[in-house]
A = this chain, B = another copy of it.
Amino acid sequence: MVNVAVLGYGTVGSGVVEVFRLNQSRIDKCAGTEVRLKYVLDLRDFPGDPVQDIIIHDFEKIVGDEEVDVVVEVMGGIEPAYTFVKRCLEAGKNVVTSNKALVAAHGSELLELAQKKNVNYLFEASVGGGIPIIRPLNTSLTGDEIEEITGILNGTTNYMMTKMFYEGADYDAVLKEAQANGFAERNPEADVEGYDACRKIAILTSIVSGQQVDFEDIYTEGITNITKEDMKYAREMGMVIKLLAMMKRDREKVEAIVAPFLLPLEHPLASVNGVFNAIFVHGNALGDAMFYGSGAGKMPTASAVVADIVDAAKNRHKNLSRYWTGQKLTLADRMEVKRRYFVRMSGCREDMQASVEESFGHVDYVTVEGLDGEFGFTTDVLTEGKMKTASSKFDNIIHMLRMDE
């Protein structure tokens, strides 16, 4: 018998309780033992809810109970989650979490502690919600050097980009609608500024490199400047615009970035629409692969949490993986990263053509019917540094977008 305590009866916590209610026999079978929810920690009471019988308000009761083998941290945020997780690991308990902020901020320390105590700190639900990605990276892609991970890792912004692309809607209107439908928070900053996706790609890059990647080091640009006019250019070029969280390895240099990208319609990520998430992986033997599913939501996230509980139950006293060390990875200098760019300029193409080509080199022009007084062009492959220098010579750039192929 394995006893589980859940810290926090919010969206994910209540999802975990529901998955146990629905799938108890499947869970026990997969774990090879009976897995029982013993406690749910919350400040509140839930009279009438079946969970009330196991609700407790005192964390000490969990950390001090030797019967508790697995602790599920689904409180979110840094504190008190960080302190609680550390104390549970120190007490020799396995910890399962969906808390990407905590994993990104203190992952290497907590992973080291888990290893020292010969238990596990598992966080499948912290990236891509229900999509299995962390365990596959760690146990299925072990024969490959992973050269690229590009993810649509935020459902809110993908919903917004999809609506803007397919329905020609305005950013502000789409954000309001997403908020009304519960797909976006009242304060949408963490989503639309790319902060959420940034923490997730920091975690994936840490796993792939085996070293600590500080999310603060990852250049992050949100979608707040994307307009329906940008979408028109994208459509004209047979592309879509997606907020991508990307890591690429070029020999020993690892690049990581979060930004809206132009992506060809044929790319597997281009047809990932609405609130769905997907993670595209390129391995040097595997080639291209993609993992797709619900990146958030109560039940999908709980599904991933429960899978980690099962893994912890099967390996209570065996550390499965350190994932990454505390050694910090220095990311590639952004100014040296090479790619193609799309630029929108106000003015008349004929007047500007000579100076554009002098600064940007060879370009291909794009015009969209109905968008007068402006034009667009795509560059050849340039370093971001070269791009910045070229752009600085113009005061009529409306918008610049990176391109991925």
A271: contacting residue among B22, B131, B271, B286, CB under 8 A: B271
Q: Which of A79-87, A167-175, A304-312, A336-344 contacts B (4 or more CB under 8 A)?
A: A304-312
Quick check: B144 and A26 within 8 Å, CB to CB? yes
Question: A305: which B residues are within 8 A, CB to CB?
Answer: 143
Interface bits A101-133 vs B (CB < 8 Å: 1, else 0): 000000000000000000000001000001110
| Residues in A130-154 with C-beta less than 8 Å from chain B | 130-132, 135-136, 139-145
A interface residues, tally (CB under 8 Å): 50
Shortest distance between the CB of A377 and any CB in chain B (Å): 29
Question: A257: which B residues are within 8 A, CB to CB?
Answer: none
Determine whether A288 belongs to the interface, using a CB cutoff of 8 Å to chain B: yes
Quick check: B136 and A285 within 8 Å, CB to CB? no
| Residues in A274-301 with C-beta less than 8 Å from chain B | 283-294, 297, 299-300
Known: A124-B140, A143-B310, A145-B26. A303 touches B290 (CB 8 A): no
Quick check: B289 and A143 within 8 Å, CB to CB? no
Quick check: A286 and B130 within 8 Å, CB to CB? yes
Known: A283-B303, A286-B299, A292-B289. A26 touches B143 (CB 8 A): yes
Shortest distance between the CB of A243 and any CB in chain B (Å): 19
Quick check: B284 and A23 within 8 Å, CB to CB? yes
Determine whether A30 belongs to the interface, using a CB cutoff of 8 Å to chain B: yes
Question: A306: which B residues are within 8 A, CB to CB?
Answer: 142-144, 285
Quick check: A286 and B268 within 8 Å, CB to CB? no
Quick check: B302 and A26 within 8 Å, CB to CB? no
Quick check: A300 and B271 within 8 Å, CB to CB? no
A303: contacting residue among B31, B130, B268, B285, CB under 8 A: B285
CA distance A73 to B299 in the complex (A): 40
CA distance A130 to B146 in the complex (A): 13
Known: A140-B307, A144-B26. A131 touches B293 (CB 8 A): no
CA distance A22 to B144 in the complex (A): 9
Quick check: A23 and B143 within 8 Å, CB to CB? yes
Determine whether A27 belongs to the interface, using a CB cutoff of 8 Å to chain B: yes
Quick check: A30 and B142 within 8 Å, CB to CB? yes
CA distance A142 to B283 in the complex (A): 26
Known: A135-B139, A143-B19. A287 touches B310 (CB 8 A): no
Known: A140-B136, A141-B132, A144-B26. A285 touches B299 (CB 8 A): yes
Question: A141: which B residues are within 8 A, CB to CB?
Answer: 132, 303, 307
CA distance A299 to B286 in the complex (A): 6
Question: A29: which B residues are within 8 A, CB to CB?
Answer: 210
Interface bits A40-54 vs B (CB < 8 Å: 1, else 0): 000000000000000
| Residues in A158-173 with C-beta less than 8 Å from chain B | none
A292: contacting residue among B132, B136, B210, B292, CB under 8 A: B292
Shortest distance between the CB of A298 and any CB in chain B (Å): 9
CA distance A27 to B142 in the complex (A): 6
Which B residue sits closest to A305, measured CB to CB?
B143
CA distance A144 to B294 in the complex (A): 14
A307: contacting residue among B143, B271, B302, CB under 8 A: B143
Task: List 22 contacting pairs A-B, 8 Å CB cutoff, sorted by A.
Answer: A19-B143, A22-B284, A23-B144, A23-B285, A26-B144, A130-B289, A132-B136, A132-B140, A132-B141, A135-B140, A141-B303, A142-B310, A143-B304, A143-B307, A144-B303, A144-B307, A271-B271, A285-B299, A285-B302, A286-B293, A287-B299, A291-B292
Quick check: A143 and B303 within 8 Å, CB to CB? yes
Quick check: A291 and B294 within 8 Å, CB to CB? no
Quick check: B303 and A294 within 8 Å, CB to CB? no
Interface bits A1-35 vs B (CB < 8 Å: 1, else 0): 00000000000000100110011001101110000
Instruction: Give the interface centre of A15, A132, A210, A311 by most chain B CB atoms within 10 Å.
Output: A132
